[in-house]
Amino acid sequence: MIPLINTVGNASDTVIYAMDETYIRLESKNRSSWSPKDISPVLERNPRHIGANIFGANQIYGSFETFTDIYNSDHSITNKEVCNFLDYLLEINKYKKLSCIRLNKNVQSNTAECFNNLITE
pLDDT band at 120 (very low <50, low <70, confident <90, very high): very low
Q: How many domains does the chain have?
A: 1
Mean pLDDT of 14-23: 76
What does the buried/exposed string (b/e) look like for 83-105 if buried means 16 or more CB atoms within 10 Å of the residue's CB?
bebbeebeeeeeeeebebbbbee
Task: Please give the residue range of the domain that contains residue 41.
Answer: 2-120
Q: How far apart are the first and last CA of the chain?
A: 27
Q: What is the pLDDT of residues 43-94, one digit of tens each?
A: 554 455 456 777 888 888 777 888 888 888 778 788 888 888 888 998 998 8
Q: Look at residue 91 in the predicted model and tell me its pLDDT.
A: 92
Give the sign of the dihedral formed by CA 42, CA 45, CA 50, CA 54: positive
